[in-house]
């Protein structure tokens, strides 16, 4: 099966996979990774791990690539007159919610049903004065499934998850917009890397880990390295791209290159090695100054058990945590290539160079 | 016969809720719990942080190593300074709100008692804890029965209202009661190896359960704790209500319960014909998180008891919810566990 | 009491596959006030072989006539506005990013994080929002004004659109159980109903069908259409808000306007019109006689084309009938299939009963 980036990315962007409930997207990823790896397995909480063995003599060192596959979304907290009250799973920006198309994954009936629905804003006269006239807090919004209250009661229960329903859209300039490009763009990049590695010879073992529950606390990031026990780890996540609503100091252009994280969460020796690889293979990068923590799986991976040297690559993305996140396809391909080249070139004694000085 | 049984349940609840034991000072409540479980556990130990860990059963064919966690610490206060006139300033251990302090009575681990007062404020303002103090009846620093570092819990007697039960520290002593009663009902036929952890220091960051879980290294875990309810006037929009049965936690703000554990709990409740409710809490955390984050990760969930007025001296639970929670927990532990696919 | 004629028994509206196709064509097309061409063309395609006369006036109204049988039929103008609220691009910031303004009334809180289509080619775009991680709590309390939002077509998008182009939400019609969910239900439901009325016109009246423009920006098209038609009676058909959601604190909702499942909403008074009482009674009598559920649209602000029609020349007795719909003027609204079909039934049955006695006054 030839791996095609855009259809694969769009397929991932069209299925749910909320933090804690990642199975739908995990199955899509597993189908793509199966022919590209030697062994697929699951962690205790459902992370997908793909092992591609290297050719070096045993015991071989292991490089881990961590890309979180979970999505942010909503969860039903109460049912009122057929309308659903909800809370968030991960950091959902309530400002984007009014009018947003969603899917309620209703589990109460005989079979699980996916109900298309809308997030809606009640008019002011139905809200308490403290709701104010600005953007409404999540607790005042409702979800309307279009079904009559009796039918809602039969199908939906408290705790059911709600995912964003907007379909991915290709925009000008080889960009793509959709929900959950954070972090499925990185999963796609890791898949590009796997595809390139399939045709290469490399000494190290590689484990690509589609982690779970990053959006609710880097859960997979903390737990999975304990299972994988890598010698080094590469985390791929998204970063803020310049554009409307970008903050003044953000100057990563979509399509302009890959920010490399520089800060306490990253091992400087790994940073320098990755930077050198990027130079050698003419992959444009930015230095991303991150004084303390990175807010990605690197936060967990770095302090697993005895600690693991981590480096972090990111993909510039506009409108993070909205259903219209946008990335440049080129950046996904670059990230994949950078990782593949880095891993291909890893000598067996590479860890001797990972020192503090 | 039923009335006698109820009495012993109420007696156990009264004993546990009235024992002082804020986070870090759990010695008295640990001893009280130990007394109750000595006859039922195969093995009991206390770990480095003070968690009381009781093993019941050994893992048999088709069984799993299960951890049940109920925290025995409660919120409280610690003295930060005793002033020249004998008034003791304090800070909170765990989540203490100024609303619940004014005029309340406290009891220190050394037996001393006190009343909480506050400085005068502009009308309509809510005090911060810094603007409050404990009055032990002392007239100077020299004759104050407490000193910097001393710890006290709130003091309030248990109240039996029939269907509703009220006390301080239903969070989480009612869970300890449920765990103890379930432990008594674990049969020799259960294939599971069950670790009942009466954990410490939950209120200050789920600390006890973290180390206990690392030590127990369970394959699946259930925390037992209280949860907020939405059935009071202009209350929070929460689905759980007193009297509607034990609550199966789907998530709170500290973790997302493993969907397989949620299903396992729902299936057990349904097969026993017990009332139950689904719980989504938009704030709060429980030992469940600590269990989930152990080693490579552990599927974990939480059995919740609805409670009104949590972290006040008058937490209210429903007696039927307590009884049904015991039945649910016992059923979960006595049978083979089918977790299903991820 | 008006003499009632027999209702032709052949008209039983349904919402099958063909009907949904036409309705979704209407809702999914772009027709922002001032540029209603796409909708107009759909109506022309549907009615050119059916109407006795059809022409487009200087504002873009499509005026179609279906004459009745008989010498002197009552001239009844039925108006349905074709336009929707939407956006116009006003400045090219370069690299595919456009500043835009709203056409008609849209709450700016409905705009953020939405997909849009731009121009006649329906170029896909997005209205993004600054990542929440980069915002301060103060910023998050403020509604982003339209002037700070941008339509993003992607790099290179500047060659695909230009200032002056209209845009609208990219929503496509979806059926959710008993409910239609689409953008512009206000007023493509009215346009759809008027098309069906022309196709099934009762023979006792001259049906003057006005597919009007620019209702959302001031009832502009209806004014000139009514002047041209100079009708005996005016009826505006539209979709009207239903605010029938629960009160946050469980109190009774007394400002619901209309309820979904309550049937067609008959106006007594809104912000633009006091309905002619004779016409209100006529509609209510018809509903009762035909066993069609109905409700009064609560007297409240808001307006329809009737606001313009009744004030034209020496005045025209007018009334409005609407399909109740939730979430109007946002990316997607909702209406019940039952309410839509009952509205069409009511209109047809009522028109079929009309004769000149309707205008007799009980003095």
The chain-wide mean pLDDT, for chain C, equals: 92
**Token output for C321:** 């009938």
Domain edges within chain C = 17-84+183-359, 86-169
Both B52 and B147 in one domain: the answer is: no
> How many domains are there within chain A?
2
Q: In what order do the strands lie in the sheet with A205-211?
A: A39-42, A48-52, A205-211, A62-68, A232-240, A310-317, A258-262, A285-289
Q: What is the pLDDT of residue B162?
A: 95
Partner residue facing A98 (CB), from C97, C134, C330: C330
pLDDT at C2: 41
pLDDT for residue A56:
95
A330 and B CB contact within 8 Å: no
Residue A284: pLDDT over 90 = yes
Among A137, A164, A191, give the residue marking a domain's end.
A164
User: What is the pLDDT at residue A198?
Assistant: 94
Give a yes or no: residue A111 inside a domain: yes
CB C182 within 8 A of CB C28: yes
Across the range C88-113, mean pLDDT stands at: 93
Give yes or no: residues B112 and B81 share one domain.
yes
* Residue ranges in chain B whose pLDDT is less than 70: 1-6
Residue C122: closest C-alpha in chain A: A171
- CA atoms of C39 and C166, how far apart (whole Å): 14
Final residue belonging to a domain, choices A140, A164, A188: A164
- With respect to residue A172, please indicate whether it lies within any of the assigned structural domains: no
Regarding whether A310 and A344 lie in a shared domain, the answer is: yes
Subunits with at least 3 CB pairs below 8 A relative to chain B? A
Domain presence at residue B160 = no
> pLDDT digits over C346-363, tens only?
999 999 999 888 887 765
- Flag whether A336 is in a domain: yes
Task: Give residue B102's pLDDT.
Answer: 92
* Domain match, A67 and A77 both: no
Q: Could you give the percent of chain A with pLDDT greater than 90?
A: 87
Same domain assignment for residues B136 and B180: no
- Distance from the Cα of C171 to chain A's closest Cα (Å) equals 9
In a domain, A170, yes or no: no
B288 and B194 in one domain? yes
Best CA proximity match to A296, nearest among A315, A312, A285, A309:
A312
The answer on pLDDT for A96 being more than 90 is: yes
Minimum Cα–Cα distance from C98: chain A residue: A244
Last residue of a domain, one of B154, B184, B218: B154
Q: Is C122 left (phi over 0), alpha (psi -120 to 50) or beta?
A: left
In whole angstroms, what is the distance from residue B22 CA to residue B76 CA? 5
Encoding tokens for residue A328?
Answer: 């440049």
pLDDT at C360: 77
Q: Are both A17 and A90 inside the same structural domain?
A: no
Beta carbons of C264 and C339 less than 8 angstroms apart: yes
Residues A249-257, mean pLDDT to the nearest whole number? 84
| Residue A231 and residue A256 in one domain | yes
Distance CA B29, CA B74 (A): 10
Q: Are residues A224 and A310 in the same domain?
A: yes
Considering all CA atoms of chain C, what is the largest pairwise distance in Å, rounded to the nearest integer? 72
Tell me, what's the pLDDT at A248?
Answer: 64
Q: In this structure, is residue B340 part of a structural domain?
A: no
Question: What is the model's pLDDT at position A1?
Answer: 41
Using DSSP's 3-state secondary structure scheme, residue A113 falls into: strand
Whether the CB of C150 is below 8 Å from some CB of chain A: the reply is: yes
- As a whole-number percent, the residues of chain C with pLDDT over 70 amount to 96
Rounded CA-CA distance C204/C61 in Å is: 25
The last residue of one of the domains, among B120, B154, B188, is: B154
Residue C70 pLDDT grade (very low, low, confident, very high; cuts 50, 70, 90): confident
Q: Any idea what the CATH number is for the domain that residue B103 is in?
A: 2.40.30.40
Give the pLDDT score at C8.
54
Q: Are residues A210 and A308 in the same domain?
A: yes
A127/A252 same-domain check: no
Which CATH number describes the domain made up of C17-84+183-359? 3.40.630.10
Of the residues C96, C113, C242, the best mutation for testing chain A's interface (the one with the most A CB atoms within 10 Å of its CB) is C113
**Confidence band, pLDDT 50/70/90 cuts, at residue C131:** confident
* E strand intervals along chain A: 39-42, 48-52, 62-68, 73-80, 83-89, 101-106, 113-120, 142-144, 161-164, 169-171, 175-178, 205-211, 232-240, 258-262, 285-289, 310-317, 325-328
What DSSP letter does each residue of C313-358 carry, written as one string? TT---EEEEEEEEBSTTSS-EEEEHHHHHHHHHHHHHHHHT--GGG
Out of A116-125, A235-244, B22-31, C187-196, least confident range = A235-244
Question: Residue B191: which H helix or E strand, with range?
Answer: none
Structure tokens at B66: 């299960």
What are the catalytic residues of C? Answer: 215
Mean pLDDT over all residues of chain A?
Answer: 94
Give A113: exposed, middle or buried? Use CB within 10 Å, 0-12, 13-18, 19+: middle
Contacts of B122 (CB under 8 A, 6+ apart): none
Same domain, A297 and A252: yes
The secondary structure of C73-87 as a DSSP string is -EEEEEEEE--B-EE
Task: Give the whole-angstrom CA distance, residue C249 versus residue B85.
Answer: 48
E strand intervals along A254-309: 258-262, 285-289
Mean per-residue pLDDT, A171-193: 95
Query: Does residue B176 lie within any of the structural domains?
Result: yes
CA distance B238 to chain A (A): 7
Looking at the structure, tell me whether residues B183 and B142 fall in a common domain. no
Kindly state the average pLDDT of the residues C136-158: 90
In a shared domain, residues A212 and A316: yes
- The reply to whether B93 and B59 lie within a common domain is no
Model ipTM value: 0.87
What would the mean pLDDT of A313-328 be, rounded to a whole number? 94
Q: Are residues A275 and A183 in the same domain?
A: yes
Instruction: Compute, in degrees rounded to 10, the torsion defined by CA atoms C169, C172, C173, C177.
Output: -110
Query: What's the token pair of residue C273?
Result: 């019109």
> Are B61 and B109 members of one domain?
no
In this model, does residue A312 exceed pLDDT 50? yes
Looking at the domain assignment, is residue B216 inside a domain? yes
pLDDT attached to residue C10: 61
- In angstroms, rounded to a whole number, what is the distance separating the alpha carbons of residues C10 and C8? 6
Domain limit, last residue, from B154, B182, B212: B154
Task: Look at residue B245 and tell me if it is in a domain.
Answer: yes
In a domain, B234, yes or no: yes
Flag whether A173 is in a domain. Answer: no
> How many contacts, defined by CB atoms under 8 Å, are there between A and B?
74
The CATH number of the domain holding residue A235 is: 3.40.630.10
Report the CATH fold assignment for C86-169. Answer: Elongation Factor Tu (Ef-tu); domain 3 (2.40.30)
Q: Token pair for residue A111?
A: 């079979």
Q: Are B297 and A159 within 8 A, CB to CB?
A: no
The answer to the question of residue B295 being in a domain is: yes
Does residue B341 form part of some domain? no
Q: Which of A132, A164, A196 is the last residue of a domain?
A: A164
pLDDT of residue C146: 93
Query: B143: buried, middle or exposed (CB in 10 Å: 19+, 13-18, 0-12)?
Result: exposed
- Placement of tokens 């034209």 in the chain: C312
Mean predicted confidence (pLDDT) in C312-332: 95
Q: Is A40 on the interface with B (CB under 8 A)?
A: no
- Give the per-residue pLDDT at C9: 61
Neighboring chain A residues of B238 at a CB cutoff of 8 Å = 77-78
Do residue A265 and residue A288 come from a single domain? yes
- Answer positive or negative: Cα dihedral of C194, C198, C201, C204: positive
Residue of B209, B236, B238, B228 lying closest to B307 (CA atoms): B228
Both tokens of C67, joined, read: 């004459």
Report pLDDT digits (tens) over C234-261: 999 999 999 999 999 888 888 899 999 9
Matching residue, tokens 């990027």 = A278
Distances (CA, A) of C265 to C179, C301, C321: 17, 15, 6
Do B176 and B310 sit in the same domain of this protein?
yes
Q: Which of residues 169-188 of C touch A (CB under 8 A)?
A: 169-171, 174, 176-179, 181
Question: Is there a single domain that holds both residue B94 and residue B202?
Answer: no
For A75, nearest residue in chain B (alpha carbons):
B280
| Cβ <8 Å between A319 and C96 | no
pLDDT at C358 (0 to 100): 85
Q: Which domain holds residue B84?
A: 76-154
Give pLDDT, residue B239.
94
Total domains present in chain B: 2
Are C131 and A99 within 8 A, CB to CB? no
Range of A308's domain?
A: 5-71+179-353
pLDDT confidence of A150, banded at 50, 70, 90? Answer: very high
Specify the pLDDT at position B5.
60
- CATH of residue A121's domain is 2.40.30.40
* Residue C119 contacts A, CB cutoff 8 Å: no
C-alpha gyration radius of chain A: 21
Can you say whether the dihedral through the CA atoms of C345, C348, C351, C352 is positive or negative?
A: negative
Average pLDDT over residues C96-118: 95
SS (H, E, C) C138-200: HHHHCCCCHHHCCEECCCCHHHCCCCCCEEEECCCCEEECCEEEECCHHHHHHHHHHHHHHHC
Whether A125 sits inside 8 A of C97 (CB atoms) is no
Q: CA-to-CA distance for A255 and C8, rounded, in angstroms?
A: 65
């Amino acid at each position: 099966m030839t791996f095609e980036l855009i259809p694969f990315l769009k397929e991932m962007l069209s299925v749910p996979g909320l933090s804690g409930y990642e199975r739908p997207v995990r199955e899509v990823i597993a189908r793509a990774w199966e022919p590209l790896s030697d062994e697929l397995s699951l962690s205790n909480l459902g992370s997908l791990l793909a092992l591609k063995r290297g050719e070096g003599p045993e015991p071989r060192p292991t490089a881990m690539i961590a890309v979180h596959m979970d999505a942010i979304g909503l969860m039903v907290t109460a049912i009122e007159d057929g309308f659903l009250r909800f809370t968030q799973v991960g950091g959902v920006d309530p400002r984007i919610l009014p009018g947003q198309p969603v899917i309620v994954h209703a589990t109460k009936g005989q079979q699980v049903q996916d109900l298309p629905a809308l997030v809606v804003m009640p008019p002011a006269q139905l809200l308490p004065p403290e709701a104010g006239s600005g953007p409404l807090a999540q607790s005042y919004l409702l979800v309307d499934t279009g079904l009559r209250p009796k039918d809602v009661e039969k199908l939906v229960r408290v705790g059911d998850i709600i995912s964003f329903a907007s379909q991915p859209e290709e925009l000008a300039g080889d960009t793509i917009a959709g929900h959950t490009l954070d972090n499925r763009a990185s999963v796609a990049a890791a898949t590009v890397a796997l595809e390139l590695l399939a045709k290469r010879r490399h000494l190290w073992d590689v484990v690509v880990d589609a982690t779970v529950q990053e959006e609710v606390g880097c859960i997979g990031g903390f737990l999975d390295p304990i299972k994988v026990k890598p010698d080094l780890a590469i985390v791929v996540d998204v970063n803020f791209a310049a554009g409307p609503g970008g903050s003044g100091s953000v100057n990563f252009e979509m399509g302009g290159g890959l920010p490399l994280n520089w800060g306490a969460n990253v091992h400087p020796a790994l940073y320098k090695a990755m930077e050198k690889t990027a130079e050698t293979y003419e992959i444009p990068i930015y230095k991303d100054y991150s004084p303390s923590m990175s807010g990605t799986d690197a936060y967990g991976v770095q302090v697993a058990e005895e600690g693991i040297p981590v480096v972090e690559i990111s993909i510039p993305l506009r409108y993070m945590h909205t259903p219209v996140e946008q990335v440049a396809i080129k950046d996904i391909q670059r990230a994949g290539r950078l990782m593949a080249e880095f891993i291909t070139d890893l000598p067996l004694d590479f860890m001797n160079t990972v020192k503090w000085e | 016969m039923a009335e006698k049984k109820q009495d012993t349940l109420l007696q156990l609840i009264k004993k546990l809720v009235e024992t002082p034991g804020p986070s870090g000072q759990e010695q008295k409540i640990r001893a009280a719990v130990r007394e109750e479980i000595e006859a039922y556990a195969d093995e009991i130990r206390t770990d480095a942080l003070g968690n009381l860990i009781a093993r019941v059963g050994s893992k048999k064919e088709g069984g799993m190593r299960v951890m049940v966690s109920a925290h025995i610490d409660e919120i409280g206060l610690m003295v930060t300074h005793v002033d020249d006139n004998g008034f003791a300033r304090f800070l909170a251990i765990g989540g203490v709100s100024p609303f619940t302090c004014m005029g309340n009575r406290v009891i220190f681990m050394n037996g001393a008692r006190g009343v909480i007062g506050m400085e005068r404020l502009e009308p309509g303002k809510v005090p911060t804890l810094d603007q409050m103090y404990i009055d032990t009846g002392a007239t100077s620093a020299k004759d104050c029965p407490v000193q910097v570092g001393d710890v006290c819990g709130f003091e309030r007697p248990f109240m039996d209202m029939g269907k509703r039960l009220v006390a301080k520290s239903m969070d989480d002593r009612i869970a300890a009661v449920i765990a103890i009663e379930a432990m008594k009902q674990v049969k020799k036929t259960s294939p599971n190896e069950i670790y009942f952890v009466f954990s410490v220091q939950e209120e200050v960051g789920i600390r006890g359960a973290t180390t206990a879980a690392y030590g127990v290294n369970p394959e699946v875990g259930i925390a037992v704790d209280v949860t907020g309810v939405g059935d009071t006037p202009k209350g929070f929009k929460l689905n759980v209500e007193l009297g509607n049965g034990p609550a199966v936690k789907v998530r709170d703000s500290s973790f997302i319960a493993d969907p397989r554990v949620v299903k396992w709990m729902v299936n057990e409740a349904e097969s026993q014909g017990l009332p139950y409710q689904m719980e989504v809490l938009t704030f709060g955390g429980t030992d469940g998180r600590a269990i989930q984050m152990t080693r490579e990760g552990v599927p974990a969930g939480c059995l919740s008891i609805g409670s009104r007025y949590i972290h006040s001296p008058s937490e209210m639970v429903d007696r039927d919810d307590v009884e049904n929670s015991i039945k649910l927990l016992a059923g979960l532990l006595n049978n083979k566990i089918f977790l299903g696919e991820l | 009491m008006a003499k009632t004629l027999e209702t032709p028994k052949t008209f039983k509206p349904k919402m099958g596959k063909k009907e949904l196709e036409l309705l979704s064509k209407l809702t999914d097309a772009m027709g922002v006030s001032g540029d209603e061409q796409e909708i107009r063309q759909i109506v022309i395609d549907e009615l050119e072989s059916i109407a006795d006369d059809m022409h487009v006036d200087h504002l873009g109204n499509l005026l179609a006539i279906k004459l009745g049988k008989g010498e002197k039929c009552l001239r009844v103008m039925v108006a349905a506005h074709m336009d929707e609220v939407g956006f116009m691009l006003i400045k090219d910031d370069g690299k595919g990013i456009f500043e835009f303004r709203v056409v008609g009334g849209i709450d700016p809180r409905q705009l953020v994080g939405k997909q849009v289509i731009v121009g006649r080619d329906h170029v896909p775009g997005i209205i993004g929002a600054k990542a929440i991680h980069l915002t301060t709590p103060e910023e998050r309390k403020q509604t982003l004004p339209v002037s700070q939002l941008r339509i993003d077509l992607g790099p290179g998008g500047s060659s695909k659109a230009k200032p002056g182009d209209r845009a609208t939400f990219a929503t496509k019609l979806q059926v959710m159980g008993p409910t239609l969910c689409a953008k512009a239900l206000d007023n493509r439901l009215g346009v759809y109903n008027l098309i069906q009325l022309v196709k099934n016109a009762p023979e006792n009246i001259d049906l003057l069908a006005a597919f009007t423009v620019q209702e959302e920006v001031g009832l502009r098209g209806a004014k000139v259409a009514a002047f041209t038609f100079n009708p005996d009676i005016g009826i505006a058909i539209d979709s009207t808000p239903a605010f029938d959601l629960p009160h946050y604190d469980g109190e009774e909702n007394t400002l619901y306007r209309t309820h979904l499942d309550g049937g067609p909403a008959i106006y007594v008074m809104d912000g633009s019109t006091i309905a002619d009482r004779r016409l209100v009674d006529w509609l209510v009598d018809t509903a009762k006689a035909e066993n069609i559920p109905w409700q009064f649209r609560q007297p409240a602000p808001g307006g329809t084309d009737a606001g313009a029609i009744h004030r034209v020349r020496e005045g025209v007795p007018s009334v409005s009938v609407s399909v109740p719909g939730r979430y109007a003027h946002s990316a997607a609204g909702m209406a019940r299939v039952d309410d839509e079909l009952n509205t069409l039934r009511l209109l047809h049955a009522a028109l079929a009963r009309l004769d000149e006695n309707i205008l007799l006054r009980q003095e």
